[in-house]
Chain A
């Protein structure tokens, strides 16, 4: 009887183990399915013509996504220019002030910002930059613009950069900074010449992760960058971007536009996955070690 019971318990254990294995690996199935479908549908659409032309009007076949590619790159670059300095310096602030009231609120704000739905950030950017407003002597004309989209995306980048900078710099030993300060270096030079260069890999990986995250963001751009069927490089005007193009064309009934959306999806997917994998590799290679 005893032996039977032990066998039953072992059987149950193995049963649950295989169930866990099964469910765990079932998670990859949708990812593989998405990769498979997007690559199969997208690869035939991509050629030189697709990359250097702008979309044709309905009824004409062909056309490309050059406007969205250029727009995405510009919007992301401007967002990075806004977010990277603020993010790194705020991260440095948090790593320098472990305790203190402002540091506590700053950390709390970063946590909050990380969880804010992207559509809410879109709404806020709309009221800050797209809606015309004037207070006394400042008149803001407003209007959909790539710049407002960049600001919305910069707000989404900030918490990731701040957190990764803080976490990286916290790992550095105090002796490093104390040695530099003891040599008589002023505080800002200690930061720029010693602390930030040593932690650069962690900071860089945070920046790249944040870029990877905002590359695919659509919701904040709906009410800010808005989209544009033509090629535009003016950041004061509406601009197309890859995710916006996919959203607009994927829900359209025209086969030509669907084809553009498939091709654009493949490019976006490859771009984002490449950034993620590249970041993983460099963090593993250049890990900060002490």
Chain B
């Protein structure tokens, strides 16, 4: 409603047309203010949606796994046998499989990703060759994981089989080792790109001081650049680890999918993500389904904690 007091005083005593016009103008600006307020509230709601989404994911996982948490208890996580047919549920084979593949992949990939970071951050920050390397490493992250899995299954696994028969273990091909290899390739970009930006942040006066003391290039990297960036590199490695833990498709395709505890790193196994991918739609009993969701909950919590620690370290590093 537009009342008389909303119309400017100078128009009140003029002609009726002018009053009408003023009324229209006032109405329009009222409408705009209303739209503006609606828009501001919409923005706030969109911000809220993000929070609600994350809370919803967490609560859904917790609620749906309540059955397995209450009937199987915390013992579930370190029981060694998984046999849904006889209602025996133990997550240890999958926890072990996830830890083995992720850490093995990390050990394989760290020398490579740190080398890329040093190459791009220290030796050659500019030029067409580093540009090419940088873009190529970023494209490694872009290739879909199902394609990595398919390629590993068709090309990598036969080579691994040959390697296994050469060193005298059972030549299965698929297994923890193959999945670690393909995971190692997939997680290189995360540590590499973060490490590169951290290394390029090293103040040049520190490096110049070391050069002035007669240090060689390698000595500068070892005594100045790496110590200065070690927390940043660690954060990059944590982010890589977070990726490796949650990676599903490539691992599912080459790990061999057995619920037995792997005897060595060449044996087939299963990770938390791969067992969910394989058995979720087949889970016919409520406890079975709930046990799988509890694995998802564990995976969620672990990756969230790892990512948040990584982000905290990066924030502290870039704010200093």
Q: What residues of chain A have their CB less than 8 Å away from a CB belonging to chain B?
A: 9-10, 12-13, 15-17, 19-28, 30-31, 33-34, 37-38, 41, 86, 89-90, 92-94, 96-97, 102-103, 105-106, 108-121, 123-124, 126-128, 155, 158, 162, 186-188, 191, 212-213, 215-219, 222-223, 243, 246-247, 250-251, 261, 265, 268-269, 272-273, 276-277, 280
Contact = CB atoms under 8 A, between A and B. Distances in A.
Contacts of A120: 57, 61, 246, 296, 299-300
Interface of B: 32-33, 35-36, 39-40, 42-44, 46-51, 53-54, 56-57, 60-61, 64, 111-113, 115-116, 118-120, 123, 133, 135-140, 142-151, 153-155, 185, 188, 192, 216-219, 221, 239, 242, 245-249, 253, 273, 276-277, 280-281, 293, 296, 299-300, 303-304, 306-308, 311
A12 to B, nearest CB: 6
Nearest to A187: B36
A204 B185 CA distance: 29
Contacts of B40: 187
A3 B272 CA distance: 58
B314 to A, nearest CB: 10
Given A123-B61, A187-B40, A37 B300 contact: no
A96 B300 CA distance: 30
B54 A113 contact: yes
Majority secondary structure of chain B interface residues (helix, strand, loop or mixed): helix
A105 B311 CA distance: 14
A89 to B, nearest CB: 4
B303 A116 contact: yes
A93 B64 contact: no
13 contacts: A13-B216, A93-B44, A102-B51, A112-B308, A117-B245, A119-B273, A127-B64, A155-B53, A186-B35, A187-B36, A218-B249, A247-B146, A261-B150
Contacts of B185: 30-31
Given A9-B216, A218-B146, 19 more contacts: A13-B218, A19-B115, A20-B119, A23-B111, A25-B133, A28-B137, A41-B154, A102-B47, A117-B245, A117-B248, A118-B246, A119-B296, A216-B147, A217-B144, A218-B249, A247-B146, A250-B149, A265-B147, A277-B135
Contacts of A13: 216-219
Given A24-B133, A89-B42, A94-B47, A276 B142 contact: yes
Select the residue from A10, A114, A117, A118 with max chain B CB neighbours within 10 A.
A117
Contact of B46 (A19, A30, A86, A280): A86
Nearest to B246: A117
A250 B253 contact: yes
B26 to A, nearest CB: 14
Contact of A276 (B139, B247, B300): B139
Contacts of A10: 216
A162 B47 CA distance: 10
A10 B51 CA distance: 55
A159 B291 CA distance: 29
A93 B150 contact: no
A114 B307 contact: yes
B50 A119 contact: no
Nearest to B306: A115
B262 to A, nearest CB: 20
Contacts of A25: 133
B146 A273 contact: no
A22 B116 CA distance: 10
A260 B299 CA distance: 33
A246 B151 CA distance: 11
A269 B54 contact: no
A23 B57 contact: no
Nearest to A22: B115
B304 to A, nearest CB: 5
Given A31-B139, A218-B249, A246 B146 contact: yes
Nearest to A28: B136
A155 B52 CA distance: 12
Nearest to A155: B53
A-B CB proximity, top 5 nearest: A216-B144, A117-B246, A115-B307, A23-B115, A188-B39
A160 to B, nearest CB: 12
Contact of B145 (A12, A113, A218): A218
B116 A24 contact: yes
Contacts of A218: 144-146, 248-249
Contacts of B50: 90, 106, 109-110, 113, 158, 162
A215 B145 CA distance: 11
A92 B43 contact: yes
Contacts of B246: 115-120
B48 to A, nearest CB: 7
B112 A26 contact: yes
A244 B118 CA distance: 38
A155 B56 CA distance: 12
Contact of A116 (B123, B192, B304): B304
A194 to B, nearest CB: 14
A9 B43 contact: no
Contact of A27 (B112, B150, B247): B112
Select the residue from B56, B143, B217 with max chain A CB neighbours within 10 A.
B143
A89 B137 CA distance: 32
Given A9-B219, A31-B136, A96-B43, A117 B303 contact: yes
Contacts of B147: 34, 38, 216, 246, 265, 268-269
Contacts of B216: 9-10, 12-13
